[in-house]
Structure 1
């Protein structure tokens, strides 16, 4: 029996004249009715009718609701806009104009599993006081997985803001979700955040109809770094399955026949150039390199829908494939090389981080999973990137849902952090003065994890690379500092070596400035890689603050002594052991300069509003903290060395003045016994030099030649020498 097979025409909500009587509950916008009626047929096909009406109360809402976008998958379903109207505060009804509705295909290679389209339209006269309404019907066309039907329902209509920087989910007066399905079909449900349970409103002739209703649902604020949607909004999920082994069997059936050896596969393996003693690591790297260099990633569903991969020989012949095609080819190659490997369905952060208590096709990507052995840890291999660093898996996938597909029930897991490189960025800065006394610095930036992946992608996709790089490395210093810089990005195309950055700075201070000051601050590295400048204000925060990805930032700053100067600390910066991050800072003297060390460690966070207030306070204080100051001051000892060189050049190294300066230098360095000889030679040249006798007395005294020292001091005094 088929219950529905055509588009609906009956409206699901009262007329707008009646809706207009609802008392306003929001100063910006409010959803008056959010109504969804879904029907599941016995053959697995379905129909969904949705109605929304929104009252616009201010100009901001009028701008945001100026265009309505309704997405759908055009390969698996059809969609029709039943009607759309605006109703002015003066009671004028305006229907949607025929030419104001567009149907457009989206994706552009980003939607790995969907052939997506959108209905896009703009209603006339959307002003404060206007009510807009629209109703649309979606009907299944093909069934990707006939055993599985799912729904996810929430009271809110999510409307993108005109600035495209966030979403709005406005106050809801009336919400209803109604579901009709065969009594023979088992239905599993999950409820979140006070979403009500169902009431059965009909059970007749083999069909059940259930209804869920809510009234006066508060606005939900959308914030950066907030918890997953199902954790904070009223939501209901229903599914015809709760056992993920069915998804494993369904996916494995599409893959298993494509993993068999073939001539094309053997030729591809032969081209890897591996010897018979190659290790597992060498084999996996070789397969990754082959996919990166021989098989281009494309959005290649070719009208077939998004779940069936091509055979490896077809992918090899074409030289391109989507994520499923590349995964199946890689798994087939690895297995032929004797390495256990499986396809893995993953849910990317772009798609969310869903609850998995009931089954829903949450996955939007496929990668390769290679289990751990006694010799190595597990490997997640993603070959779809544009020459990404091996093994290509984004660090943002940590904690995401994954289903390892093996045909034996599969394994549903959260992707573990231990499988990925640590998120680290280290800045190494070396300040020095060249032969002319000009002040310069060398910078090197070493990266791993998400920082390496971000810089690699940023560099590849920068439209003006040189300008973008200049702006980036100049961000290390304030705009008021005058300098020139030459920078380079290294290894951006390497599959095995992380991207790094180097830069040479030439500062414009005058060489005559004898007290050049160098500063180092944790804000330099935070500004490049963390940027807390847009941290949300605690007073405005509504949800818990979530930071999923731990990271470590560090700086090593060396200030080198100059020819005539010595690097001296004149201001210290303090360590900070805050509850939710740690900052360690230290300095030490090297033989040729000063080394500053700054280490900022930021863990994964999930903070209550009170904890976030504390966190925000501590982060804000970082910008006000003392910075490291190192002065390049004239070194008296080096000044004497320079004077000695000058005297030696003018009068000769065996002159009286040369011997006197040598004796002084050795005394100041604590080499008292050695200072006795040049002092005696000075006396031999001029027995009446009170300074020579004084230096000899000093050296003798510190060398514990007490009696001789007393006699020498007496002679210096006799000659009238006053130190």
Structure 2
């Protein structure tokens, strides 16, 4: 996708599993090397027999986690990682390690970290090289923190090892335990350039728990992960292990599902209803009312007679009265504030806004529930086993009398109603009420709802210059992103002029305005004008036009930056589908110019794209319409070469090119038509039409001449000629006789 669309719907999976690994946070990060119990063999044992490959940048020798769960379902987890460093790039990436955790529920402690240098010496981490940091997300409230530590003397040929421990400090869900694990080690690349997951010699997960606790897990056998369960002394030991796990090749536009890497969920329940009831128990006590809230309900009832009007009024109320503050849904737990407090404060995060909207809707007699969402940024986890991986909350309004099903998200500032965005489209959701027992999947919009439409009219010609008006209208992901960009861009006028100027690099955007940027009910629209300088020779010269659908794909898609087939390692996903549409009006610069079509765009229809193009000539103008649909697809590696070839064919397809050429005859006709009350001009015009074979037009001009000057002999003679050319011989003879009677010499 283009830089623009990359911001909209870029589906990098570089950190999805990082977030899925057990989330933990810490207030105590001090190294406790003296008391730490090592869960891995000595480093020299791990190195025994290992022969690095020159093709390997880094190799994880061992990734091991041991989890101990007690009778109260509190746990601590100890993780060990050892990595052989075999490239300068790996040196940069592994010199500083970051481990993410959630400080509301857990503590973390680095137990030790060492570097075995290429000459065999062991260098331990320095006391001042470890710290706890809050992520640098601007305007974003959350409890996620990072254990950050720097390793000494990391060089090519070094081996690093470190061990850290998570400890539960409070329960998220009473009477239950949930966690998720990746069998790879996901390391942040230097300078924020994504993540890497190198090949692993051995990965192991061990869970120790009382035998009375029933544990459920997803099936990891498809990843060649072996599972064992043993019991001893009223304890159960569950172990999963895999050897020689391949490096994960991370690429743009990968599938959102987490199945591209070994991944495991473990929980004390396989019933989503227990999670729904837990979430509901956090929400229901805060659905309170007071005089201010009751007044809002009363006012809405008076002004909004239908269910749909009531829902829209609630959406408007949240937008007008509750400012959204950026916060992860789990910040401070999943429990919201009281609805009365939210209204009084005038701000709230997603769960606060959702709770107030649900309260208002229910008081208005409309069924509504909160819905927990896993947004696209987290991909699509395996939801077979319950887990708490939700990062957003919205309103679910089920179908009922007067309403179809609505998923309403109030968190976008002045977003188009109902706020349903591409960030949640097609994602897993848990509707929160005591009856719900299953995960829902949010609906997906089709290509006709995710669109950018350009209307361009070339309408002014002065000297050697031309101008054109444009209108850009949007739907779906394009509407959401462009509206947001307009609202938040610091120098938005300059930014948008440069952005839209990419449609015609040779033109300047001289006017720019927008509509509906703050309108909750109408989509965002951009209007303006292009100025083209020195694009033709002037009044008596031809003007050449051209347009290609790639002028939109270059701006609103990213079809020119695909991996070559030999470089593509992962399936390619386009989701959602979208369409790019145009209506281009090429006006003639004058009535003295004649149209000549040089090339026409072709239609395309294959599994990946559908392009429909048409052209239509109207008086003094030619109209081109185009509609490109980029279909929703998962392109497997076996089909990628064909997809790549078809994309290249689309980008290289024929442009529309046409010219309006200055025509001497047309100029003469235009000059004569400029004075239709002059008898000489009308007779000359009829003669010129006969010369050009336009006999019907010749007849019309001759009749006008006779009507203007009934006693003019030549006018009647010209009428006789014109009638003869259209085979009205009787009428032609009558006209000739009239001309002769008036003195015309036949």
Q: Which moved more, 1:114-123 or 1:178-187?
A: 114-123
The Cα of 1:448 is off from its aligned counterpart by 0.8
Instruction: For residue 555 of structure 1, give the secondary structure of its aligned residue in structure 2.
Output: strand
| TM-score after normalising by structure 1 | 0.90
Q: 1:681 to 1:599 in 2, by over 3 A?
A: closer
User: How many positions carry a matched residue from both structures?
Assistant: 700
1:622 aligns with 2:650: yes
1:496 aligns with 2:521: yes
The Cα of 1:635 is off from its aligned counterpart by 4.6
Q: 1:280 to 1:675 in 2, by over 3 A?
A: same
Instruction: For residue 362 of structure 2, give the secondary structure of its aligned residue in structure 1.
Output: helix
Structure 2 match to 1:172: 200
Q: Report if the CA contact (8 A) 2:415-2:520 is conserved.
A: yes
After superposition, the C-alpha distances for 1:118-150 in whole angstroms (9 at most, x for unaligned) are 011221222211111111101000111122212
1:95 pairs, out of 111, 114, 124, with: 124
Matches within 5 A, 1:180-579: 180-192=208-220, 193-200=222-229, 203-228=231-256, 230-270=258-298, 272=300, 274-275=301-302, 278-299=305-326, 305-417=332-444, 422-434=449-461, 438-478=465-505, 481-508=506-533, 509-510=535-536, 511-512=538-539, 514-563=541-590, 564-579=592-607
Q: 1:679 to 1:579 in 2, by over 3 A?
A: same
Structure 2 match to 1:68: 97
Moved over 6 A (4+): 109-112, 300-304, 678-687, 691-695, 709-713
Structure 2 match to 1:588: 616
Instruction: For residue 137 of structure 1, give the secondary structure of its aligned residue in structure 2.
Output: strand
Q: 1:692 to 1:437 in 2, by over 3 A?
A: farther
The Cα of 1:455 is off from its aligned counterpart by 0.8
Instruction: For residue 331 of structure 1, give the secondary structure of its aligned residue in structure 2.
Output: helix
The Cα of 1:605 is off from its aligned counterpart by 0.7
Structure 2 match to 1:3: none
Q: Report if the CA contact (8 A) 2:549-2:626 is conserved.
A: yes
Distance in structure 2 (CA, Å) of the matches to 1:417 and 1:302? 23
Q: Which moved more, 1:677-686 or 1:222-231?
A: 677-686
Distance in structure 2 (CA, Å) of the matches to 1:50 and 1:425? 48
Instruction: For residue 595 of structure 1, give the secondary structure of its aligned residue in structure 2.
Output: strand
Structure 1 match to 2:169: 141
After superposition, the C-alpha distances for 1:279-311 in whole angstroms (9 at most, x for unaligned) are 112111111111112111125799982211111
Distance in structure 2 (CA, Å) of the matches to 1:577 and 1:516? 32
| Alignment gaps of 5+ in structure 1 | 1-5
Instruction: For residue 535 of structure 1, give the secondary structure of its aligned residue in structure 2.
Output: coil
Instruction: For residue 472 of structure 1, give the secondary structure of its aligned residue in structure 2.
Output: helix
Q: Report if the CA contact (8 A) 1:75-1:305 is conserved.
A: yes
Q: 1:671 to 1:24 in 2, by over 3 A?
A: same
Distance in structure 2 (CA, Å) of the matches to 1:78 and 1:437? 72
The Cα of 1:420 is off from its aligned counterpart by 11
The Cα of 1:536 is off from its aligned counterpart by 2.0
Instruction: For residue 396 of structure 1, give the secondary structure of its aligned residue in structure 2.
Output: coil
Distance in structure 2 (CA, Å) of the matches to 1:669 and 1:135? 95
The Cα of 1:451 is off from its aligned counterpart by 1.0
What CA RMSD, in Å, does the superposition of the two structures yield over aligned residues? 3.1
Distance in structure 2 (CA, Å) of the matches to 1:380 and 1:347? 14
Q: Report if the CA contact (8 A) 2:59-2:85 is conserved.
A: yes
1:123 pairs, out of 120, 140, 151, with: 151
Q: Report if the CA contact (8 A) 2:350-2:392 is conserved.
A: yes
The Cα of 1:357 is off from its aligned counterpart by 1.3
Q: 1:458 to 1:304 in 2, by over 3 A?
A: closer
The Cα of 1:155 is off from its aligned counterpart by 2.2
Instruction: For residue 496 of structure 1, give the secondary structure of its aligned residue in structure 2.
Output: coil
Q: Report if the CA contact (8 A) 2:447-2:631 is conserved.
A: no
2:108 pairs, out of 76, 79, 82, with: 79
Distance in structure 1 (CA, Å) of the matches to 2:681 and 2:303? 76
Distance in structure 1 (CA, Å) of the matches to 2:604 and 2:491? 39
Q: 1:553 to 1:121 in 2, by over 3 A?
A: same
Instruction: For residue 670 of structure 1, give the secondary structure of its aligned residue in structure 2.
Output: helix
Q: 1:165 to 1:422 in 2, by over 3 A?
A: farther
The Cα of 1:702 is off from its aligned counterpart by 2.3
Distance in structure 2 (CA, Å) of the matches to 1:711 and 1:686? 12
Distance in structure 2 (CA, Å) of the matches to 1:278 and 1:514? 63
Instruction: For residue 397 of structure 1, give the secondary structure of its aligned residue in structure 2.
Output: coil
Distance in structure 2 (CA, Å) of the matches to 1:459 and 1:131? 49
Structure 1 match to 2:694: 668
The Cα of 1:567 is off from its aligned counterpart by 4.1
Instruction: For residue 550 of structure 2, give the secondary structure of its aligned residue in structure 1.
Output: helix
Q: 1:546 to 1:189 in 2, by over 3 A?
A: same
Q: Report if the CA contact (8 A) 1:476-1:525 is conserved.
A: yes
Q: Which moved more, 1:591-600 or 1:293-302?
A: 293-302
Distance in structure 2 (CA, Å) of the matches to 1:111 and 1:157? 27
Q: 1:360 to 1:405 in 2, by over 3 A?
A: same
Distance in structure 2 (CA, Å) of the matches to 1:382 and 1:207? 46
The Cα of 1:434 is off from its aligned counterpart by 4.3
Q: 1:708 to 1:45 in 2, by over 3 A?
A: closer
Higher RCO structure, 1 or 2 (CA under 8 Å, sep 6+): 2
Q: Report if the CA contact (8 A) 1:186-1:240 is conserved.
A: yes
Q: 1:363 to 1:300 in 2, by over 3 A?
A: closer
Q: Which moved more, 1:597-606 or 1:45-54?
A: 597-606
| TM-score after normalising by structure 2 | 0.87
After superposition, the C-alpha distances for 1:642-680 in whole angstroms (9 at most, x for unaligned) are 33267x5xxx95464553124434872623443444677
Distance in structure 2 (CA, Å) of the matches to 1:611 and 1:80? 47
